[in-house]
Amino acid sequence: MHDETGLIKQAVRGDSRALSELLRQHYSFLYQYVLKVTMNKTRAEDITQETMLKAIEKIATFQYKAKFSTWLITIASRLVVDRIRRNELEKNWIQSEQSMHAIRFETLQRGDDWPAALQALGELSSDIRIPVLLKYYYGYAQEEISTMLDIPVGTVKSRLHNGLKQLRKELTEHEEA
């Protein structure tokens, strides 16, 4: 095993052999860490590989403030968190789509019309849809919505403006179709 500090210095200066040796020495350790975090062999392999690629891309930014293994774990941890966020967003979107289809199906089953406005409302992201519903359907004031959602009044105004703009666009496209 080569002197790790020397390998790091060479790798930071652009020595690809030194970087390759460093990554080889830390691969198993990193993989075991990611495996414990994800509890999923395939995901752990993917994230470990992605971490190695990021390390190759970012080696010149290594600051020597922590051990090399700590730097790799930091990269891997951020990738895991990013992937969890992405998966949550994807899962929420799928659930939202399924819910909207279920509501539409029930409405049509009862023989009711499915209004274009309801379809357009369903197309809005929830962070915009909620203030629009609270303001224009339930009649709450912007300040009340701000308090309810724990966001600044300016954000409420912006979301309402963007929501109405999107609704107008959706409804205009629906009429033209």
Q: Range with the lowest mean pLDDT among 14-18, 71-75, 135-139, 153-157?
A: 135-139
Query: pLDDT-based confidence at 1, cuts 50/70/90?
Result: very low
User: What confidence score (pLDDT) does residue 68 get?
Assistant: 93
> What single letter denotes the amino acid at residue 155?
T
Q: Is the CB of residue 56 less than 8 Å from the CB of residue 77?
A: no
Q: Between the CA of residue 139 and those of 37, 54, 97, 111, 124, what are the distances in Å?
A: 46, 50, 26, 28, 19
C-alpha–C-alpha distance, residues 55 and 72, integer Å: 7
Query: pLDDT-based confidence at 4, cuts 50/70/90?
Result: confident
Q: Range with the lowest mean pLDDT among 7-16, 38-47, 84-93, 124-133?
A: 84-93
Rounded mean pLDDT, 58-87: 89
Closest CA to 64 of 6, 110, 124: 6
The larger pLDDT score, comparing residue 25 to residue 113, is at: 25
Dihedral of CA 109/115/120/124: which sign? negative
Region for residue 111 given its phi and psi (left: phi exceeds 0; alpha: psi -120 to 50; beta: otherwise)? left
Q: Is the CB of residue 73 less than 8 Å from the CB of residue 31?
A: no
Token pair for residue 32?
A: 């075991």
